[in-house]
Amino acid sequence: MNLKEITLRHLKMRMKSPFSTSFGTIQDKEFILLEAKDESGNIGWGESVAFYSPWYTEETLKTNWHMLEDFLIPAILNKEIQHPDEVSDIFSSIRKNNMAKSTIEGAIWDLYSQEKGISLAKALGGEKNKIEVGISIGIQNTVDDLLNLIDEYVAEGYKRMKVKIKPGWDIEVLREIRKHFPNVPLMADANSAYRLKDIDHLRKLDEFELMMIEQPLASDDFIDHAKLQKEISTPVCLDESIHSYVDTRMAIEMGSCKIINIKIGRIGGLTESKRIHDLCQKHNIPVWCGGMLEAGIGRTHNIALTSLSNFVLPGDTAGSSRYWERDIIDPEVIVEDGYINVPDVPGIGYEPNTETIKTFTVFEKTFS
């Protein structure tokens, strides 16, 4: 395969309701969508998960656009590629910028699976034909609002509830949830809102039988996560800390966590995701697929990845209607009884809707 033309689009999509974490609130999702055409005219799609501002990691929509336009696209156009695993070599002289790299790599995996005539899930080595889905619920104005949402999502069949926490919105909130939903599979995500000095406070999490506490401490702090994990029985899951296979080794060897959240963009692509998946499997570390409020293309890639066998915990791969009035793919991603069926047709198994994409496009540029 040989990429002949790449179009970048800056999309802006209004979310059904604002999403709040310990760092702030998102109402309009702005991101880059990438369309890549190969020498046979096949088209592959990639979606950047970088947000408009750098609150989650240092990457943003504009840093991604810059990296894509000035470095990554020039490096990849007209290069002969036998397998998507080669993409990391082509980009080896460009440091980090994982979300930008992953945007192209995702489109290449899509094209590769079309070329082979198999689903993206099969191309990645996926084995499941349906995946379990959980839901992530942002910080709400009142505990009642949160309880009502949980009620709704339990009724819709979601397999686990994840609630965002921060100092002042944590122990009491979880206690209320457990009072009303004693048995619901529940976890909490702190997005790095605590420090090891809060250990006595974090110890209180143990009374709620959470499936895990996600990213309680600073994103670069493997040592303190290890100290915390030794002191609490709730499994620690790392999200923001994990950018690579090496980070994963470090976390496992240091005992910084018992579970890992894999986000394709954060770790630089599907190839690296697969390597991390395999490493975790070898060490009996369960993984699950995180979400970045993706539109349809990102969602389809998450679904394909989650079909790998060590994705044993429900992911944040909710259906399209969780965030969007109208998603950019047909059909939209549907969750039934808490499951999504993994498509078994060549490629991602969903059709990007070019008309809908146009309505959300703020700016576009084609490179050839």
Question: Which residues of this protein are in contact with Mg ion, per CB under 5 A?
Answer: 189, 214, 239
**292 belongs to the binding site for ligand OSB (CB under 6 A):** yes
Burial class from Cβ neighbours inside 10 Å (0-12, 13-18, 19+) for residue 221 reads middle
Tell me whether residue 290 or residue 296 sits nearer to ligand OSB (CB atom).
Answer: 290
- Using DSSP's 3-state secondary structure scheme, residue 330 falls into strand
Tally Cβ neighbours within 10 Å of residue 234: 23
C-beta of 318: minimal distance to ligand OSB in Å? 6
The two tokens of residue 304 are: 């394909």
Residue 56: name its binding partner from ligand OSB, Mg ion, none (Cβ under 5 to 8 Å by kind).
ligand OSB
**10, 33, 50, 56: which one contacts ligand OSB (CB under 6 A)?**
56
In one-letter notation, the amino acid at residue 149 is: L
299-338 residues near ligand OSB, rule: CB under 6 A? 316, 318
Stretch that binds ligand OSB, among 205-213, 267-275, 285-293, 347-355 (CB under 6 A): 285-293
Catalytic residue among 29, 37, 122, 164: 164
Q: 151 among the known binding-site residues? A: no
By beta-carbon distance, which residue lies closest to ligand OSB? 291
C-beta of 290: minimal distance to Mg ion in Å? 6
Q: 89 among the known binding-site residues? A: no
**Helices vs. strands in the chain: H and E counts, helices first:** 13, 15
The two tokens of residue 261 are: 């959240």
Tell me whether residue 136 or residue 310 sits nearer to ligand OSB (CB atom).
Answer: 136
Tell me whether residue 56 or residue 194 sits nearer to ligand OSB (CB atom).
Answer: 56
**47 belongs to the binding site for ligand OSB (CB under 6 A):** no
Residue 136: name its binding partner from Mg ion, ligand OSB, none (Cβ under 5 to 8 Å by kind).
ligand OSB
- Which stretch of DSSP H or E encloses residue 303? helix 296-306
Catalytic residue among 101, 122, 159, 263: 263
**136, 273, 310, 356: which one contacts ligand OSB (CB under 6 A)?**
136
Contact between 225 and 236 (Cβ < 8 Å): yes
Give the list of residues 6+ apart from residue 332 with CB closer than 8 angstroms, or none: 296, 319, 320, 321, 324
Q: Is 29 a catalytic residue?
A: no
Contact between 260 and 278 (Cβ < 8 Å): no
Q: Is 358 a catalytic residue?
A: no
C-beta of 110: minimal distance to ligand OSB in Å? 20
Give the list of residues 6+ apart from residue 267 with CB closer than 8 angstroms, or none: 98, 102, 242, 243, 244, 245, 273, 276
Residue 293: name its binding partner from ligand OSB, Mg ion, none (Cβ under 5 to 8 Å by kind).
ligand OSB
DSSP letters spanning 95-116: ---HHHHHHHHHHHHHHHHHHH
Q: 58 among the known binding-site residues? A: no
Pick the closest to residue 215 from 233, 230, 202 (CA basis): 202
Residue 45, φ and ψ in degrees, nearest 5: -125, 145
Among all chains, which residue has been given the structure tokens 């894999």? 262
**224 belongs to the binding site for ligand OSB (CB under 6 A):** no
176-205 residues near ligand OSB, rule: CB under 6 A? 189, 191
Q: Which residues fall in the annotated binding site for Mg(2+)?
A: 189, 214, 239
Q: Which residues fall in the annotated binding site?
A: 189, 214, 239
Please give the residue ranges that form the binding site for ligand OSB (CB under 6 A): 56, 136, 189, 191, 239, 290-293, 316, 318
Please give the positions annotated as active site. 164, 263
